[in-house]
Amino acid sequence: MNQRVLDISAYQGEVDFHRIKQDGIWGVMLKATEGERYLSPAFEKNYQQAKQAELEVGAYHYLRASTVPEAVAEANFFLSKVKEKQLTLPLAVDIEAPEQRQIEDLAPIAAAFCDTLEKAGYYATIYSTVDWFKTKLSAKQLDRFDRWIAEEGVSKPNFEKPYGMWQYTSSGKIPGIAKGTDLSVAYKDYAGIIQRAGLGQVRG
């Protein structure tokens, strides 16, 4: 399958989710949290409106961690903010922060974050650039996790390992959103996979 997916944060401002659904968008990945304290002020509103528009919905966290304990703390913070949501797409960790540029091997940090999500009963995926996946996130210990890769200006990603989503532009023009937005294509039926596995459900 090839389905279009948007990732949306407070930066996009007001979003007409019904309009983007009509334009053929299948799902949205909503920014929920960043670091250990930041909750996106747009997350709750965007979540409610996306569900009302009957879009598939996932969430992502912008990772600031530079150690394994920090990654676990950030993952638990992320989980605390999404636990009441009915999510049909993965939980993603966005790894591209300035704090991490000097770290040669981010695999232990990424694995600790994703392990924490999986232990809580969610489908975890790692988002980063193809360059980082080839360098800082190339360790075999990450091969058990799904990948959401980012590479622009190419007709096909220059990446040999498996991936479930590809972000091909950061300036997509979509009716219903005034500002440019990241556009990805999903190659997996995440909603079906997550439903069949009983993942991403509301946690009481």
Tell me which residues are annotated as active site: 7, 96
* Both structure tokens of 31: 């920014």
Q: Are strands 56-62 and 38-39 parallel, antiparallel or unpaired?
A: unpaired
Q: Residue 121: CB partners within 8 Å, gap ≥ 6?
A: 198, 199, 200, 201, 203
- Which phi-psi region, left, alpha or beta, contains residue 75 (left: φ > 0; alpha: ψ -120 to 50)? alpha
Interatomic CA distance for residues 185 and 42, integer angstroms: 23
- 8 A C-beta contact, residue 33 and residue 78: yes
DSSP symbols for 59-118: EEEE---SSHHHHHHHHHHHHHHHTTS--SS-EEEE---GGGTT-S--HHHHHHHHHHHH
Rounded to whole angstroms, what are the CA distances from 158 to 107, 121, 139?
20, 32, 18
User: Rounded distance, CA 178 to CA 13, Å?
Assistant: 8
